[in-house]
Amino acid sequence: MAETPWITPAAAIAESFPDGLKELGPRVQVNLRGDVTDSTFVNAVKTATGLDLPDAPNKVAAGKECKALWLSPDEWLLVGEGEAASLVQSLEEALSGQYVAINDVSANRTIFEISGPYCHQVLMKSSEVDFHPRAFAPGNCVQTLIAKSQAIVEQVGREMFHIYVRNSFSRYAGAWLAEALVEYSETS
Amino acid sequence: MTQAFRTTSGGRIDRRKAINFTFNGQSYIGYEGDTLASALLANGVHLLGRSFKYHRPRGIVAAGAEEPNSMVQLGEGATTEPNIRATQISLYEGLTASSVNVWPNVEFDISAINGLFAKIMTAGFYNKTFMWPRSMWMKLYEPVIRRAAGWGKAPTQTDPDIYDHMHLHVEVMVVGGGPAGLMAALAAGRAGARVLLVDEQSEFGGSLLSKKRQIGAKDEAGWIADMAAELEAMPDVTLLSRSTAFGYYDHNYLCVLEQKTDHLPAAERKGKVRQRVWHIRAGQVVLATGAHERPLVFADNDRPGIMLAGSVQTYVNRYGVLPGKKMVLFTNNDAAYEAAIDLQAAGGDVVAIIDCRHEVSGELVDAARALDIEILAGYAITGTSGGKRVESVEVRAIQKGAKVYTSAARQIDCDLVAMSGGWSPVVHLFSQSQGQLEYDEEKVCFLPGKPRQAQQVAGALAGQFTLKECLAGGYKAGADAARATGFTPKRKPAAPEIEEPDLGGIEPFWIVPGSRPIGEGMAKHFVDLQNDTTAADIELAVREGFESVEHIKRYTLTGFGTDQGKTSNINALAILSGILDKPIPKVGTTTFRPPYTPVSYGALAGRNLGDWSDPVRVTSIHDWHVENGALFENVGQWKRPWYFPKAGETMHEALNRECLAVRNAVGVLDASTLGKIDIRGPDAAEFLNRIYTNAWAKLGIGRVRYGLMCHEDGMVFDDGTTARLAEDRFLMTTTTGGAASVLDWLEEYLQTEWPELKVYCTSVTEQWATVSIAGPKAGAVLKKLAPEMDLSHENFPFLSFKEGTVAGLKARVFRISFTGELSYEINVPWANGLALWEAVMAAGAEFDITPYGTESMHILRAEKGFIIVGQETDGTTTPQDLGMDWIVSKKKPDFIGKRSFTRSDTARPDRKQLVGLLTETPDDVLPEGAQLVFDPNVPKPIPMAGHVTSSYYSAALGRSIALALVKGGHGRKGQKIFAPLEGKTVTAEIVDPVLYDKEGERLNG
């Protein structure tokens, strides 16, 4: 690594990304907490979003407008396109009076996309989690560390992953992922 | 003379591919497939270095990881590496290596004179000698003697190579790619398991690389190639050669060092990862780590040219090298005869086989006899001669079972002695995995007992010394491992016809008896070649009262060093067992610890170097700070602007300018790093009541309150402001460094202590970028940006917040202050941070708005006596110590820390309490951390009265200011206190910590 990533402007770091790595534009991200064993809650979420919230660990449920990533037994990250405010509002209305937490976290994390034949190797360099196809597949997500940055990793295709990291870690994580790919970029 | 000891055919080297290399300045040629050791032997070079203590000439003993002697300095400059075994260096074009522990050179070494003083350099020499006089440590012991005893030199330049780490999960991991390991991998792979096979060698095959065997229709090379090809074709089988499993930890977690480019010429390594540490999590582990041959312990058994028999066989069969042309074999077992037979077949001359057993018979013995090799049964080598290479051995008949000779000495000339004391299974990883060892009397070795982890053992490690046993044992282990991880093994293939000799038996023989007791005379019976430990040293250690094998190890150094006693441990404890007259299993073994073979620091560090050591976190406004010349300060993992010097400005001048701007006009601070936690639920207010020391139930919606958090011990651990967003919803801010630990703290209490509370916590730290404007003109700036917002003190009072539009951005504005000035913290979604900042700068231009950093923030808050957690507090500070009793509720039934405030220790009056300090000389700025005393003139040691926690020059006050924790400080206002510094003592007056605008009039601008 030639230059210190924290002094390099963010745009310059992004420009140097090799094939197979990019930072996605903003997505709607809403953090939702509630009791999945309570059918009132589950039904209201379904009404508001069309989503059947996954109750199995590390699963992603896809809906029309957005998808829900399982984060913990009572926590999901809803991710979609469009307006965060309207998603928050429809959730607030549907869940009014219930014991829930709804937070617009669209700006909280940025999303990197890694793709191509080497994305599994990049993850093997970066995380202790088993991302082998036998253990992890499209429709799975997991909270882990990418190098030393907290992250959510979601598999979106056979050879494509989305990596959600906190914004403040984006230069570190972006530079790390780029570096992890270099070995393969040169040989491919 | 080029490669005079190379055979004309045979071996796994490629004679068409010559490789040039340099050793000790001399150029040589080897072949592709060679190790440095085999190439040197091919060129007749045996003398590789000098021994640790006595500087005796030493040569190559083994052919693999067990090699105790042939450590070299590999490479030059930044990439040089010390103490690498020549037996483990794959030869590459341009390789440069030199001897270690020699001066001026290996042929003539001055320290060899140590040999003459050998009598005093016995066990415990260091402990006994370097005690007195103490002053000699710096002059003689450290610089001179340490150098004489040291090995290679560590590089002094930064390592330019790339290292990294990878994680791999498999159902079955197989360690060792010999016949057993290959079969295990095959069985598990065919069953469908994800398999990893690792082997430290350059190619798979293990012991088969050194032996001639027919397996079914194939010879050994063909069989290995078939196995490797089938494994490679399996998509979920990972094969790693040149990869050493060096550590075996709990839960089948193993670490492997893969050497990816160490075998390549320098030009081909550029830009590539040199070494990779693999972190493996395996469902089952099959250990097939093989066995190491044991040397025999006899007089002067350390001369170059005295080697392990199996290693001689390896050099002959694998590398096409005759390590000598006139060989004597010394053995206590049949298997070693094969080395003699193979050397003879390759063109060498075996002049005699010295077998310490009195009755010898068997297939290999007969084969040796058929070659007309003289076999002296019931004999032993009782001495050797030769300077830099063995020239002859002295042999005598020995009485069976007794420690005496029964014949006169006979001299046999030779240039090579092959020795074999039997084989020790490589139990290192098994032992690291906490498995217990069991001693096998018949096989004369320790074998793995009951495993403690999900694990199988196979091959020589499991005492399966024949190829037939290895193949069957390996397959079974692999199949069992696959089954244990949920796979169904395929039917076992029919066992192939294997041609191998009957390996016969072994008789334990630990030390050659002498006519005089061991240790008398000049002869040395080396046990540990790397540490120059002799049998006499072990005897001496026992005489001096050491009996535990662990103590003996430390006193005699047996088993230390880069080889960790792979060839010496068992001999040492067998000799110890003889001295103590205790059976070997009762003596026990020393502890095997990772790493199995040395691992460089570079490999362990991987990519976590320099800027990668720890994540660097930055805000969305960071690029602006960089462009505008900010200097940065580390706050937790964050880089925060420290201050913004203008061209030519000193730090002092910059801070004065920034602080005065806030006091007189307006300053702007990037406060995005503060932790933010959304707290929501019907019990949110009750939860805060229990977490914070003050009361929260009655906080109005739209209002903000400052709070302190304590741990159960009553000590402050975080602070910040929390706003009530709704009846059931709060937004808590934490310190920058404390954000994660506060969230953990909240979750811990919610999940373990108060599960009945209905509260959810959500971290939103990086949802919001925060721009804080402070100063008498802050309101004017905000007014320009948010003309719609009612900023009147009645409708937007101190400690309240509003939602609205600022600079066209949806924002939350908090009216709080850490400077004592009128101040607004404007929060916008993270990505809008820079846009907001630039809008603030533009709007503030007419007031000369001044960006300031953490240092000015610290000064401004210190002028107001506001604490910083971690600076004024250190985990032993209560709110009362800080003079903040006002924030500790007397009415609440309970909160975390409450009961601790009534403990006698937290209630005592002479605790260290927060005060302000004003130095007698206004320009004296006390160093932070300076110790304080009430009376500097009392005899030393002077009782300590406290310490300075914060200290600055205050431009607003035109003098230095300090905060300090002083014993009983609250009752000492007006008293003098002293800071005895180097060269001078500074006098200061104890004052109230609030030094600026005591009345708080400036809060309203």
Residue in the structure block whose two tokens are 């709704």: B726
CA angle B331–B380–B115, rounded 5-degree value: 105
pLDDT of residue B143: 58
Which residues in chain A have Cβ-Cβ distances shorter than 8 Å to B678?
101, 103
Residue environment code for B856-867, b if the CB has 16+ CB neighbours within 10 A, otherwise e = bbbbbbbbbbbb
Residue environment code for B404-439, b if the CB has 16+ CB neighbours within 10 A, otherwise e = ebeeeeeebebbbbbbbbbbbbbbbbbbbbebebeb
Distance (Å, whole) CA B566 – CA B561: 10
Which residues in chain B have Cβ-Cβ distances shorter than 8 Å to A4?
611
**Which residue(s) pair with B447 in the sheet?**
B438
Percent with pLDDT over 70 in chain B: 95
Question: Hey, which residues 118-147 in chain A have their CB within 8 Å of chain B?
Answer: 121, 124-125, 127-130, 132, 134-135, 147
Of B738, B803, B794, B716, whose CA–CA distance to B768 is shortest? B803
CA B329 to chain CA centroid, Å, is 42
Same domain membership, residue B213 and residue B151: no
The CATH number of residue B58's host domain is: 3.10.20.440
Same domain membership, residue B196 and residue B137: no
Nearest CA in chain A to B611: A4
Chosen domain end from B113, B135, B155: B155
* Rg of chain A (C-alpha set): 17
* Rg of chain B (C-alpha set): 38
pLDDT of residue B740: 94
Same domain membership, residue B955 and residue B918: yes
Chosen domain end from B155, B190, B220: B155
Are A167 and B766 inside 8 Å of each other by CB?
yes
Are A9 and B623 inside 8 Å of each other by CB?
yes
Distance (Å, whole) CA A71 – CA A54: 10
Which residues in chain A have Cβ-Cβ distances shorter than 8 Å to B614?
148
Q: Is the Cβ–Cβ distance between B590 and B581 less than 8 Å?
A: no
Instruction: Decide: residue B249, CB within 10 A, 0-12 exposed, 13-18 middle, 19+ buried.
Output: middle
Nearest CA in chain A to B679: A101
How does pLDDT run across B248-300, given as a tens digit for each residue?
999 999 999 999 999 999 999 988 999 999 999 999 999 999 999 999 999 99
Same domain membership, residue B96 and residue B72: yes
Does residue B626 fall inside a structural domain? Answer: no
Which residues in chain B have Cβ-Cβ distances shorter than 8 Å to A33?
760, 762
Give the one of A103, A109, A179 whose C-beta lies nearest to B607's C-beta.
A179
**Which residue(s) pair with B815 in the sheet?**
B800
pLDDT of residue B117: 63
**Which residue(s) pair with B717 in the sheet?**
none
Distance (Å, whole) CA B320 – CA B30: 11
Same domain membership, residue B537 and residue B461: no
Instruction: Decide: residue B138, CB within 10 A, 0-12 exposed, 13-18 middle, 19+ buried.
Output: exposed
pLDDT of residue A188: 44
Give the one of B638, B760, B830 whose C-beta lies nearest to A167's C-beta.
B830
Same domain membership, residue B1000 and residue B913: yes
Are B169 and A132 inside 8 Å of each other by CB?
yes
Distance from CA of A118 to the nearest CA of B (A): 13
- Is A112 touching B (CB cutoff 8 A)? no
What amino acid occupies position B845?
Answer: A
Say if strands B375-377 and B379-385 run parallel, antiparallel, or are unpaired: unpaired
Q: What is the DSSP string of A164-183?
A: EEEGGGHHHHHHHHHHHHHH
Domain ranges of chain A: 10-25+108-187, 28-104
pLDDT of residue B119: 63
Nearest CA in chain B to A165: B766
pLDDT of residue A2: 42
The CATH number of residue B542's host domain is: 1.10.10
pLDDT of residue B547: 86
In this structure, is the dihedral angle defined by the CA atoms of residues B277, B278, B280 and B284, taken in order, positive or negative? negative
Does residue B814 fall inside a structural domain? Answer: no
Task: Answer yes or no: same fold for A10-25+108-187 and A28-104.
Answer: no
Q: Is the Cβ–Cβ distance between B778 and B806 less than 8 Å?
A: no
Which residues in chain A have Cβ-Cβ distances shorter than 8 Å to B616?
5-6, 171-172
Please give the CATH topology (third level) of the domain spanning A10-25+108-187. Answer: Gyrase A; domain 2 (3.30.1360)
Neighbouring CB atoms inside 10 A of B152's CB total 20
Are A172 and B616 inside 8 Å of each other by CB?
yes
ipTM value for the complex:
0.96
The CATH number of residue B237's host domain is: 3.50.50.60
Distance (Å, whole) CA B460 – CA B456: 13
Does residue B436 fall inside a structural domain? Answer: yes
Give the one of A1, A105, A130 whose C-beta lies nearest to B169's C-beta.
A130
Q: What are phi and psi of B423, to 5 degrees?
A: -120, 135
Q: Is the Cβ–Cβ distance between B192 and B283 less than 8 Å?
A: no
Which residues in chain B have Cβ-Cβ distances shorter than 8 Å to A183?
272-273
Distance (Å, whole) CA A99 – CA A120: 39
Counting the structural domains of chain B, the total is: 6
Which residues in chain B have Cβ-Cβ distances shorter than 8 Å to A104?
767
Give the one of A6, A124, A179 whose C-beta lies nearest to B166's C-beta.
A124
CA B588 to chain CA centroid, Å, is 28
Same domain membership, residue B525 and residue B508: no
Are A1 and B610 inside 8 Å of each other by CB?
yes
Please, which residues have CB within 8 angstroms of residue B626's CB and are 6 or more apart in sequence? A7, A9
Does residue B491 fall inside a structural domain? Answer: no
Does residue B510 fall inside a structural domain? Answer: yes
Class of the CATH domain delimited by A28-104: alpha beta
Mean pLDDT by 10 residues, chain B (1005 residues): 88 96 96 98 94 90 95 89 94 95 72 64 62 59 58 85 96 98 98 98 96 94 97 97 98 98 94 96 98 96 97 98 97 97 97 96 96 96 94 93 82 98 97 96 95 98 97 97 96 88 93 78 91 92 91 90 89 92 90 92 92 91 96 94 97 98 98 97 97 96 97 96 97 95 97 97 97 98 97 96 97 97 97 97 98 98 97 96 95 95 92 98 96 95 96 98 98 97 96 95 88
Distance from CA of A96 to the nearest CA of B (A): 12
In this structure, is the dihedral angle defined by the CA atoms of residues B122, B127, B133 and B136, taken in order, positive or negative? positive
Give the one of A74, A104, A125 whose C-beta lies nearest to B166's C-beta.
A125
Are B612 and A147 inside 8 Å of each other by CB?
yes
pLDDT of A50 above 70: yes
Q: Is the Cβ–Cβ distance between A53 and A42 less than 8 Å?
A: yes
How does pLDDT run across B117-154, given as a tens digit for each residue?
666 666 666 556 555 555 665 566 555 555 555 678 88
Q: Where are the alpha helices (DSSP H) in B569-681?
A: 569-580, 584-587, 601-605, 622-627, 651-664
The CATH number of residue B722's host domain is: 3.30.70.1400
Are B760 and A100 inside 8 Å of each other by CB?
yes
The two tokens of residue B56 are: 């005796």
Which residues in chain B have Cβ-Cβ distances shorter than 8 Å to A168?
617-619, 638, 673, 765-766
Show the beta-strand stretches assigned E in B711-822. Answer: 716-726, 729-734, 760-763, 768-774, 800-806, 809-815
Chosen domain end from B542, B560, B580: B580
Same domain membership, residue B417 and residue B531: no
Tell me the average pLDDT across A91-111: 96
Best of B275, B612, B757 to substitute, by most chain A Cβ atoms within 10 angstroms, is B612
Distance from CA of B637 to the nearest CA of A (A): 10
Q: What is the DSSP string of A90-133?
A: HHHHHTTTSS-EEEE-TTTEEEEEEESTTHHHHHHHH-SS--ST
Same domain membership, residue B54 and residue B138: yes
Instruction: Decide: residue B610, CB within 10 A, 0-12 exposed, 13-18 middle, 19+ buried.
Output: exposed
pLDDT of A42 above 50: yes
Does residue B649 fall inside a structural domain? Answer: no
Question: Hey, which residues 36-95 in chain A have their CB within 8 Å of chain B?
Answer: 74
Instruction: Decide: residue A22, CB within 10 A, 0-12 exposed, 13-18 middle, 19+ buried.
Output: middle
Best of B268, B760, B809, B834 to substitute, by most chain A Cβ atoms within 10 angstroms, is B760
Give the one of B616, B829, B830 whose C-beta lies nearest to A5's C-beta.
B616
Of B404, B411, B406, whose CA–CA distance to B385 is shortest? B411
Are A108 and B767 inside 8 Å of each other by CB?
yes
Which residues in chain A have Cβ-Cβ distances shorter than 8 Å to B166?
121, 124-125
Nearest CA in chain B to A34: B760
Same domain membership, residue B171 and residue B102: no
Which residues in chain B have Cβ-Cβ distances shorter than 8 Å to A31?
762
Neighbouring CB atoms inside 10 A of A26's CB total 14
Which residues in chain A have Cβ-Cβ distances shorter than 8 Å to B271?
186
Distance (Å, whole) CA B539 – CA B586: 18
Are B618 and A171 inside 8 Å of each other by CB?
yes
Same domain membership, residue B215 and residue B116: no
Residue in the structure block whose two tokens are 């063109």: B347
Distance (Å, whole) CA B14 – CA B351: 30
Distance from CA of A31 to the nearest CA of B (A): 8
The CATH number of residue B936's host domain is: 2.40.30.110
The two tokens of residue A141 are: 């997500």
- Is A101 touching B (CB cutoff 8 A)? yes
Same domain membership, residue B36 and residue B9: yes
Neighbouring CB atoms inside 10 A of B275's CB total 22
Nearest CA in chain A to B610: A4
pLDDT of residue A5: 65
Of B816, B633, B614, whose CA–CA distance to B719 is shortest? B816
Nearest CA in chain A to B167: A124
Please give the residue range of the domain that contains residue B692.
Answer: 676-766
CA angle B71–B76–B77, rounded 5-degree value: 130
Are B638 and A168 inside 8 Å of each other by CB?
yes
